[in-house]
Chain A
Amino acid sequence: MNPGDADRFVEAAAAYVHIPFCSAVCPYCDFAVVAGQDHVAPRYVGAVCAEVQAADPWRPLEAIFFGGGTPSNVDPALLGRIVEALVARHGITNGAELSLEANPEDFSIERASQLRQIGFNRVSFGAQSFDDTVLASLGRRHLAADIEDSVLAARKAGFDNVSVDLIYGTPGETDQSWGQSLRRAVTVAPDHISCYALTVERGTPLGRAVSAGAEAPDSDVQANRYETADRILTSNGFDRYEVSNWSKPGWECRYNLTVWAQGEFEAYGNGAHGFREGRRYRNVRRIDAYIQRVESGASPRAGHDTVTGWEAELDRLFVGLRRTVGVAEGPGTETFLASAEGKTLVDAGVLGVGDGRIRVTRPLLTDAVHRSLLALDGPIVKVDSDA
């Protein structure tokens, strides 16, 4: 996509809504999720609506993203109440993106139609793989065929913006099965594909298994898989616009674009993170604590970091450099390129400079770029309060 289109999202307002309920928790997941708590959903949704209503008035939203958790597992009527509350509180722009995450295991045409009626126009499937063996070892409860059925259901219900998430580098996956997975993903003709490397997080069942000696994903293997993904997706008309995200031109996720352009986004729900008026803030992570706070009229915020002045400039680079378009030159890039670490990165071919922008030309080394950025002229992270 062209840099101007990407950068304009710095002006955007977006919202993230966290729906923490899952039918089961996947062994690798370390998000703020719960299983077997579906009965809490109505009360939780009530709390989210209350949080929305208590928010400071804002400009109309350009993108709303329901993440989780598994939003598609919750009664669409409940999700509808949140959408209504958001529209009532902030309004939405004409043609706003309303996106939700869905699992392929129980995504029926009926469900899809209900979601369409509420106003959702984009669905992102947690497909993870088209290899049933890999799906089993990831602890997923669907088969490759279910993904194909779900995408079809979404299309039939009128979703014209469909995304598929894949995970690569799972032990047991082979170069061949990953290639096949990608080709089948392309075959279902989504508009957007995300590919994430399997990451071992501490405190998860996968983390404990690896500590106990189970095979861990290999970094070089994952690098190979990433390169395979980029090759196959690019040759099928998908452009990479962020480290882990590819889309057909024009079908980039606008909520994502807002986050990476350093645009503002509000966050609702437990463990959600937002950025508004120079503050990166986070909500309490536990559902019960979240509900209890909101119901008692207290703020669900767990803490925030103020990002202003020089820190905001470095923050712009921090988030913006995840994008293929990189960031426009500014005081931050000037300092960065003049620093020893910045020079090393340019020499090593990790950073590219040109057309008034700098870009990460080897996206798999983005964290190395980020660490070097953090060293520039003192810490960017400043914690004012913490729960």
Chain B
Amino acid sequence: MTDQARIRNFSIVAHIDHGKSTLADRLLEKTGAVSAREMREQLLDSMDLERERGITIKAQTVRLEYEANDGQTYVLNLIDTPGHVDFSYEVSRSLAACEGALLLVDAAQGVQAQTLANSYLAIAAGLEVIPAVNKIDLPAADPDRAAAELVGIIGGSPNDVLRMSAKTGDGVDDLLETLVKEVPPPKGELDAPLRALVFDSYFDAYRGVVCYVRVVDGHLESGDALRFMATNEVHDATEIGFLRPKAQAVPTLGPGEVGYLITGVKEIDRIKVGDTITSDRRPADQALPGYDEPKPMVYSGLFPTDGDDFEKLREALEKLRLNDASLAWDPETSKALGFGFRCGFLGLLHMEIVRERLEREYDLDLVATAPSVAYRVTMLDGDVKELRSPQDLPEPNDRRGISEPYVKAMILGPSEFVGPIMELATSRRAIVGNMNYLSPERVELDFEIPLAEVVFDFFDLLKSRTKGYASLDYEPAGYRESDLVKVDILLNGQPVDAFSSIVHRDNAEEYGKKMTGRLRNLIPRQLFDVPIQAAIGGRIISRETVRAKRKDVTAKCYGGDISRKKKLLQRQKEGKKRMKMVGSVEVPQEAFVAALQVEDE
């Protein structure tokens, strides 16, 4: 058990690629937790996908021991945070386990929206924020400008901003000293009933669910019966220990300490991130604040291209869920796409990562329907229903209104692009709020915008209109009533469920035109004219026609070569098996994929 006065718990808040993982590696090396020889580059990001994309999905944590210039040895618990907007709840829980946060900014790129959002979270959580400029060794580095931006956010003097290079190790010693000096020690109550925060968990095939915990008050002892206050379940502490970074079992975790806990629970959704653990024998009166259950923000239907892969997809989802309690799904049947699952995701990145893992790690070929958000429908009797799929929208006569989730979005970009950014935002129904200049060159724009407008291609458009310089972050901002309609796409009079979408009335016509236009080019000519219509209820808002095919015959029959002709036709016939029948219209599988693809205009 470590004296709280010698514990420092901190996280690193940084944008993707601003050097968080490299810095973590350097700290492990400097404190001797891992020898340089053992050092695998970016040790903390262990998932392949994380390494590849350079982003952290699951937070990891490590206990470092550091002998400071004052001769004392300090325990530094580095609590890693997921680096993306989709995981803001997880970020907030990680921050809640800390007393300090290192705000790390790339000397060449300066502050990004995501850094800003997370530093606001850190400030709001009452953390001591330590500003640092990284990558000062880069030729394009402008540490003074980056430092000025940091000061613009958190105040203070540019001289107090640390300057370092995690890559070369320059300035890392200063950083360690600063952490010891500036991050306040924990102030937990030694004799109070146990209260420990679960700030992350993962599934281990041999050990079951492993929780990462921060003891706030009291002691966590191996063998104790523990009560999880949110779920109200009691589990024994089978094993507790430190992460250095390898697991090291210890008998006790005292107040202020960070470590892991194994209870024997096998199902990850029985352990909730943000839950408070107390002693079953001597429970605390009050749980730690801030517990919430993360809810899916974005839904999409996932269908195997090959219908026979349905079970394989289910198994793969179940395996992913072992480590991702936020992943939720229900079976879904589409007339057009067959059997699949309606999946809920925390956000777009989460959705993309899940899809990519399913395809890559489980070798599945998937068709994903357009992402939709969780609409809320107020029925005539006042009942509120949550809508996961556009097809479930009740008839206009049965409902009083529809509301949609809004987000508070923050865009950070060069001030020369204010015009294009505003234009994009207002074209997407955004309500523009504050404009805040971090420096004469960098501006922060705040606004509220329907999540549905963000989920499709907003980020790509933002990047293309600002030459890649603007960054975006958002957080949920509740629901608002909107004038929404369901647009159905009909092929030869038959609605195609996979193409139905809920859109704002003002955008319905544009959406209808876009879809019918795309489909006209994707659907092969049939024996008859195929009308492609977009409709709101019974009203047609746009129409295209795939003209009947006129000629489908081989003129000659190869001098009586009937067999060859049959084989040729047989091959063409095989090709047609990959078609899906929508009523009597043959639609190639690729058409579904292509029609639902986000355009790259």
Contacts and interface: CB of A to CB of B under 8 A. Distances in A.
Contact of A374 (B527, B557, B561, B566): B566
Interface in A178-236: 195-197, 199, 219-220, 222-223, 226
Nearest to B525: A219
- The 8 lowest CB-CB distance pairs between A and B, nearest first, are A223-B550, A196-B555, A348-B527, A223-B551, A366-B553, A273-B561, A364-B551, A197-B555
Q: Which of A197, A282, A380, A381 has the most CB of B within 10 A?
A: A381
Given A275-B562, A280-B562, A315-B562, A197 B576 contact: no
Interface in A4-45: 16, 18, 31
A276 to B, nearest CB: 12
B247 interface: no
A265 interface: yes
A381 B554 contact: no
Interface in A69-117: none
B528 to A, nearest CB: 5
A344 B550 contact: no
B566 A380 contact: yes
Contacts of B562: 259, 273, 275, 280, 315, 318-319
Interface in B535-556: 548-556
Interface string A263-290: 0010100001111000010100000000
A222 B556 CA distance: 14
Interface stretch (B61-69, B348-356, B567-575): B567-575
A264 to B, nearest CB: 11
A126 interface: no
Contacts of B559: 16, 18, 31, 67, 272-273
Interface residues of A, number: 47
B560 A265 contact: yes
Contact of A226 (B528, B551, B563, B576): B551
Contacts of B566: 318, 370, 374, 380-381
A321 to B, nearest CB: 11
Interface residues of B, number: 28
A375 B586 CA distance: 15
B523 to A, nearest CB: 16
B549 A199 contact: no
Contacts, number: 103
Nearest to B529: A348
Given A322-B557, A374-B573, A379-B570, A282 B563 contact: yes
B206 interface: no
Nearest to B555: A196
Contacts of A344: 527, 584
A345 interface: yes
Nearest to A281: B563
B576 A371 contact: yes
B549 A273 contact: no
Given A319-B562, A367-B569, 10 more contacts: A243-B555, A244-B555, A244-B556, A259-B560, A273-B562, A344-B527, A365-B552, A371-B576, A374-B573, A381-B567
A365 B557 CA distance: 15
A199 B554 contact: yes
Given A318-B562, A380-B566, A381-B566, A367 B527 contact: no
A282 B562 CA distance: 10
A369 B552 CA distance: 9
A359 B527 CA distance: 16
Contacts of A375: 573
